[in-house]
Every structure is written in C-alpha cells, then in structure tokens.
Structure 1
Amino acid sequence: MSAVEALTPDPRPLHARIAADLRDAIMNGDLAPGAKIPSTAQLKERFDASNATIQKALQVLKAEGLVVGRAGAAVTVREHRQQTVRPAASLAPAPTGSAYPWLAEMAGRSGAAVRTELLSVDEAGVQGDIAAALGQENGTSAVVRRQLITIEGESAELVCSYYPLAIARGTALAELRKIRGGTPTLLTALGFPPRTSVDRVSARIPTQAEHTALRLPGDLPVLRTLRTVYSDHHRPVEVTVMVKAGHLYELQYEFRPE
C-alpha cells in the first residue's frame, strides 16, 4: 500500500467535497468568470452523486458568492468572483483629498464601488503578536482605528490599525474621522514616513466578531495579515490586522532579486 493510499479518506460529507473541488476550479481559473458550471447530469456522473447532493453542493457555492443561478437556469461563475489585492499599494501616500491608493486601484481595475466605514477609534490595551510588533509590553495601550471595507455593498475586509500613543495621541489618528490620503500621508506629515513593512499572512477560522462583520457563510477560513510598518531607524509606527474571506481574495506580492 502506498503512502497516498494509506491516508485517511476525506471525512467531509459528499456535497462538501464536491463544493470543494468546484471551488478550487473557480479560484484557480479553470472555470472563468461567466463560465457555466458543468450540468447536473455531468456532475452526478463525475462524482457518483444524487441530484439532491449536487444541488446541495451548488447551494454552498451560491451562499459563498462564487456562483449565481436559479432553478431551471444554468449556474455560472460569478463575475469578479475573486479580487486580487496588491498589499504594497497601501504604503504609498496619496495627494491630499484623494482616495486611499489601493482602494482607488481596486476600483479602477474592476470598476467596483469600494467604500470604507470607520467603525471606531479609541485607546485600548494590546496583547500577543500586536504588542510584540509594536515593541510594547502586553496590556499597554495604543490608539486603535477599526474600519470595514465594502465592495459593491458587500463586506470585504475588517481592518484594525494600532499606533503607539507617543505618535498618535493628540493627532488625527486618534480622532473619529477619516484621514484624507490615508495614514501613510499623515504619518509622513508627522515626521514618521513609512519606509518598509513586514507582512505575516495566515489562514484561520474566523472569530465570532470577524464572522459577523464579514457576513461569512459556514466555516470557511479567513486570510489574516499582520502588517508592521516601520519608519526611520526601524521604528514601528503602525501595526495593522487585515482580515478578509479566504475564498474571495488573494494577495499578490512582487519581489526583485537583490
């Protein structure tokens, strides 16, 4: 018996396994936006499944926003089923009065209506990887800005940004209002220009708050990016936790050889 044959079979219900295979085909581009999903008859033969099981699998994908269709009509891959985000774009300062650079880029690329909602701004204690990234002790305070980004009216990303009190207190960072040009512009004006950033990306099951804010279906994982932005002398000036649905977004990084 080979090592592969010795592996424990996938314990998920058949409809979940079918949805997983179709989801992969959608996300890797085998099924392009606007393409028809194979017919029920084709899927029944391919997966040796009943009509009810196939319909249950398709309903999962509909709930996830990956496909659209109704009874009696072909099920098709949804347009803009997956957004590509270039994290590097978020570091660029924008001219006064302009939109956040990466939001403007996404809107221009897809024609989508992108919005940010500022949920809260306050001082709160930081713990764990956030405290470590800021170079602070657990329980010490930082200014926290929480925002929800929507695309075409749908919740897309939950963003929580943390700033050392020595930098943020008494500035627009600590006020409940949006910052024109984004925080890179303001940090530069305050004398802390963003120089480099380090991203740590992980996939995990969402917390209750994340699940609710992003209106997630089922138990699909989210992408969590912990970004630390450094200014001169490698001083951390901003730590941001960005959480987005893992099945709807991908991150694109570009690297140049030394």
Structure 2
Amino acid sequence: MTGPTAEAEGHDRRSLHERIAADLRDDIMSGSLAPGAKLPSTTQLKARFDASNATVQKALGLLKDERLVVGRAGAAVTVREHRQRTVRPAASMQPAGPGEPYRWLAEAREGGAPARSRLLEVAETVPPGDVAGALGLPDGGTALLRRQIILIDDEPAELVLCFYPPDLARGTALAERRRIKGGTPTLLTELGHPPVLSVDRVSARIPTQEQYEALQLPGNLPVLRTLRVVYSHDERPVEATVMVKAGHLYELRYDFTPS
C-alpha cells in the first residue's frame, strides 16, 4: 500500500513560523494575552516552540502585519489595544432615532474609537447568486447596489454591499449617491417597509481580490462573510447585505433568550 498514512495526512504542514503565529494569535483572540499585555520574550518563545531566533522573529512579524501586536527594536512586543472588536449584528437592525447616527457606527463609537462610513458606489448591477436568490430576482436580474466601507480609527473595518429590489429602490434616496441619515433601516421604515425579520448566514472564506484590497489584509487569513436578508411585512425581502470583516480582528456576538 502506498501513499500517506492517516497520521501524515493530519500533520500540520505549515511552516514553523506560521504555526507559532497561529498559536500566539489564538492566545490573543481568546484573551489569554490581554490588550496591552507583553508577549513572552524571544527566549521564552524559542524554548516553547523549539525554534530559532529568526523563526520567532518571523512569526512576530506576521502578527505585526496583521495589526494584532505592536513592537519596535529594543522594546517588548505587546498586544495591540482594541486588537479584536466584538460586533453585535442585532444592534444594527433597529432604526436610529431622530438625529442619531447609524446603529453600527454608534456602537463602534461607544467603544471609544472614531468610526465613519464612506460610500463607494451606487449602481444597478447583477448581484451574487445567493443575493439574487434571497431577493427573488429572475436569472440575470439586477438589484440596486450601495457599496461602502466602514472605518474605525481610520482603518478599514468592514466592506458592506447592500442590495435592494429595483422596484423598491428606484426614485428613493436609496438610489442617490449620498449617505442616508440614520441608515437604511430608518429609511425603509419611512418608505413603509419596516424591517421585521433579519436572517444571517455567516461563513469563513478566503478573501476575494476586492475584499483583500478594500480591507488592506496582510495575507491569506480568512474573512467573516455575513449574508443578511431583511424581510418586511408579508415576508417580503427588502434588503440583502453582504458584510465582510477580517476574521482575525472581529468576532460576532449573538444574544438569545430561551423560549
């Protein structure tokens, strides 16, 4: 019998510096290394991973590129403040009150970080297949796209592509190239299509070229892709949004009440 054994097939084939970075990344994301904490010294890391000084430095370089740690020559490497942000998807569903910013931005600002959105494009386009299916579009049918980037601390945090049925969006503020005061939940409510149900499908994926460039990603780390379909009365889909975040910088929090 030839070919790799089951044990060999399960072996971690990544280079040692990638494996070191993966373990340290998990320590950071799980909170074992808190924001502002010093990472173990190079000597300690060499002993822990049975690695050379060059290999350890290469691993730390990956984490610096990923914006998880900071360090300079002659100083300890520390976990970056706000190295991971928790996003509560349900918070963005409620319409904002008069004069209030979009809920997503308001929540980000509550964490002490300046947050803003930048509108990149408004156009009718053929959406991805899962979006077209969610909106009930015919083959080759178009939807109105509002594409934007959300920035926190002036760094790209999330790429957002919102799609709307053309018969609902045409002739409204959705089709105008300007930001919508209070966000689209507020506008949809004003148009007589209040959001009553939201369904999220979350997956981890390797970033596309557009996502890689827009989010300024450092390597082949996965992104979190959320497809959110918003329904109004009579189960009518009124919005389908694709939201993409860097997987190593963000986590999603969902709160449930037992029934």
What TM-score results when the alignment is normalised by the length of structure 2? 0.96
Alignment of 1:133-172 (within 5 A): 133-172=134-173
CA distance in 1, matches of 2:138, 2:176: 24
**Secondary structure of the equivalent of 1:200?**
strand
CA distance in 1, matches of 2:128, 2:115: 31
CA distance in 2, matches of 1:132, 1:242: 17
**Secondary structure of the equivalent of 1:150?**
strand
CA distance in 1, matches of 2:33, 2:14: 23
Q: Aligned residue for 1:55?
A: 57
Q: Aligned residue for 2:224?
A: 223
Any idea what the Cα deviations from partners look like across 1:198-219, whole Å, max 9, x if unmatched? 0000000000011000000010
State the Cα distance separating 1:8 from its structure 2 match: 2.5
State, as a whole percentage, how many aligned pairs show the same letter: 67
Corresponding residue pairs, total = 255
Any idea what the Cα deviations from partners look like across 1:233-256, whole Å, max 9, x if unmatched? 111000000000000000000111
RMSD: 1.3
Does the CA-based 8 Å contact 2:108-2:114 persist in structure 1?
no
Q: Which runs of 5+ in 2 are unaligned?
A: none
CA distance in 2, matches of 1:8, 1:194: 46
Segment drifting more, 94-103 vs 127-136:
94-103
**1:182 counterpart = 2:183:** yes
Q: Aligned residue for 1:23?
A: 25
Does the CA-based 8 Å contact 1:143-1:164 persist in structure 2?
yes
State the Cα distance separating 1:188 from its structure 2 match: 0.4
CA distance in 1, matches of 2:9, 2:32: 27
CA distance in 2, matches of 1:69, 1:63: 11
Q: Aligned residue for 1:78?
A: 80
Q: Aligned residue for 1:67?
A: 69
Q: Aligned residue for 1:102?
A: 104
Q: Aligned residue for 2:253?
A: 252
1:8 corresponds, among 7, 10, 27, to 10
Does the CA-based 8 Å contact 1:126-1:138 persist in structure 2?
no
Does the CA-based 8 Å contact 1:106-1:112 persist in structure 2?
yes
Does the CA-based 8 Å contact 1:128-1:138 persist in structure 2?
no
State the Cα distance separating 1:185 from its structure 2 match: 0.5
Q: Aligned residue for 2:45?
A: 43
CA distance in 2, matches of 1:152, 1:238: 28
Q: Aligned residue for 1:210?
A: 211
CA distance in 2, matches of 1:214, 1:127: 20
One-letter amino acid of the counterpart of residue 251, structure 2: E
CA distance in 2, matches of 1:138, 1:29: 46
Q: Which runs of 5+ in 1 are unaligned?
A: none
State the Cα distance separating 1:96 from its structure 2 match: 3.1
Does the CA-based 8 Å contact 2:200-2:226 persist in structure 1?
yes
CA distance in 2, matches of 1:202, 1:90: 19
CA distance in 2, matches of 1:137, 1:250: 34
CA distance in 2, matches of 1:78, 1:5: 37
CA distance in 2, matches of 1:16, 1:241: 30
